[in-house]
Amino acid sequence: MHGSGNNFVIIDSRLVDNANRDYREIANDSNCDQVIVVTNSNVADCFMHIYNADGSKVETCGNAARCVGYLIMLEKSTEYATIELMNERILECFKTELGVLKDPVAVNIGNPHMIFFVNSIEKIPLLNLAPQLETHILFPKKTNVSITQIDKSGEINLQVWERGTGITASCGSAACAAFVASVLRGYITAQQTSVNFLGGNLSIEWKDNVFMTGDVEFIQ
């Protein structure tokens, strides 16, 4: 089984004891990245042991957890599973349909951002999808989630889910992160563009540093 290109041999030891198996030999014979052994857990749906190709054990692997979580969900006919890890952490796995949300860009601009590029931000149910993405295992301190639409003029239309807050009318760091991601992906070649939110517009420029310009007003 593989998750995003990581190949695993997954052994279910909940019913049969495989304690004496040579996992290094299994990994070498199958040319997999890791051997995953699933055992019983008193606090979760299962316990996941992870063996590298050299036989050493590691605490966690995100792609392996997704694969095991998927198998448990198939077994239980549900869309939720829990996995206990060697470091006593409990992983929660959810099944969700992301639709056109694929291939995000991760940008750290002083805080973490997950940037998705879409054809139309109006068609994406960010309110439903973002809570699970915010707490993705790759972001131990959570992340901001943005959906980005670039129009024909090269301007960016942006909707943002801010970690710990939810959807907001604007987000300056997300505007900077979205512009940087757009340039890195080759979608924008200019050094400056306008980033448009429901709450207003920001001008973002990236030369050696990233500069943000926008209005401020007192609230009466």
Say whether pLDDT at 80 is over 90.
no
Mean pLDDT within 155-180: 94
Q: Is 145 helix (H, G, I), strand (E, B) or coil?
A: strand
The CATH number of residue 25's host domain is 3.10.310.10
Average pLDDT of the residues of the chain: 88
In angstroms, rounded to a whole number, what is the distance separating the alpha carbons of residues 25 and 34?
11
DSSP-based helix, strand, coil % in the chain, nearest 5: 20, 35, 45
Helices (H), 57-109: 62-76
Q: Which domain holds residue 78?
A: 2-94
Last residue of a domain, one of 94, 114, 135: 94
Instruction: Read off the pLDDT band of 19 (50, 70, 90).
Output: low
Q: Is residue 61 annotated as part of the catalytic site, yes or no?
A: yes
Q: Do 170 and 201 form a contact (C-beta atoms < 8 A)?
A: no
User: What does the pLDDT look like over 113-136, one tens digit per residue?
Assistant: 999 999 889 888 899 889 989 988
* Tokens 């890791």 found at: 34
Task: Indicate whether 220 belongs to any domain.
Answer: no
DSSP single-letter state for residue 15: S
Task: Indicate whether 174 belongs to any domain.
Answer: yes
Task: Classify the C-alpha dihedral 178-161-95-91 as positive or negative.
Answer: positive
Domain count, the chain: 2
Last residue of a domain, one of 94, 125, 146: 94
Choose, from 61, 67, 93, 176, the residue flagged as catalytic.
61
Mean pLDDT within 157-175: 94
Residue 89 confidence (pLDDT): 83
- Token digits of residue 37: 């052994």
In angstroms, rounded to a whole number, what is the distance separating the alpha carbons of residues 111 and 60?
24
Choose, from 32, 67, 93, 171, the residue flagged as catalytic.
171
Residue 99 confidence (pLDDT): 52
124 and 145 part of one domain = yes
135 and 66 part of one domain = no
134 and 44 part of one domain = no
